Amino acid sequence: MFETAITLDQFVAAMKDTLIMVSVSLFLGSLLGVPLGIIMVITRPGGLVNHRFFYALINPIINIIRSLPFIILLISIIPFTRFIVHTTIGTTGAIVPLIIFIAPYIARLVENSLLEINPGIIEAARSMGATPLQAIWHFLLPEALASLVLALTTATIGLIGATAMAGTVGGGGIGDLAITYGYQRFDTFATVSTALVLIVVVQGLQSLGNVISRRLRRE
């Protein structure tokens, strides 16, 4: 069980690839997903702007992308990935589908967080004559900040799982290591060690997100 072909350098390189995929995809996915989530809230019926066209356009697109398992999405957009980054393998080839996967997920999480806000907050913003942008920046986002932290924590954990699945098509990272050595070469140590590392990382991220969220709620 403890005999393995994996070297320490390979393990460190896989962890580095996973970190790159998660950080870059989370950053770019958040740049797309957070504004989309806000737009979903303010344009829905009864929202600050109440623009049904935008809501009717964005909502089904998000639902369609979210309905696809990541592995199917990854394979389906291979031509698009190749067009954008000129490759479909390795860390670079995995980042494009990861962004497309996580952005709608973040948008829905942000939407849910903002919808949990007491409607009285919106009414207070309107009574003060706040513009939609002012209401978002000074009322909605500060009130939902603790919930948004938990939402991004959940998105990060989901992204880590997706990077592991990207290993099935040579996406690099921990998932690729587990499949190449653990599954294809029957290396039990590779499978167990990568699983343990992912468990520790996910537990650490969730605990950190919970701590930050609790402190923001107390403030």
Residues whose CB is less than 8 angstroms from the CB of residue 132 and which lie 6 or more positions away in sequence, other chains included: 42, 48, 49
Closest C-alpha to 43, from 125, 107, 123, 132:
132
Contact predicate 66/105, CB 8 Å: yes
Estimate to the nearest angstrom the gap between the alpha carbon of 173 and the chain centroid: 17
pLDDT tens string, the chain, 219 residues long: the values are 456 777 778 888 888 989 999 999 999 999 999 999 999 998 888 778 877 888 888 999 999 999 998 989 988 998 999 999 988 888 888 899 999 999 999 999 999 999 988 888 888 887 888 888 888 888 889 999 999 999 999 999 999 989 888 877 777 788 878 877 777 777 788 888 888 888 999 999 999 999 999 998 876
Predicted structure pTM score: 0.90
For residue 119, what are the CA distances in angstroms to 48, 114, 129, 143? 11, 10, 16, 11
**160: DSSP letter:** H
Half-sphere exposure of 73 (CA within 13 A, CB side): 21
What's residue 202's pLDDT? 92
What single letter denotes the amino acid at residue 188? T
The pLDDT, as a whole number, for residue 28 is 96
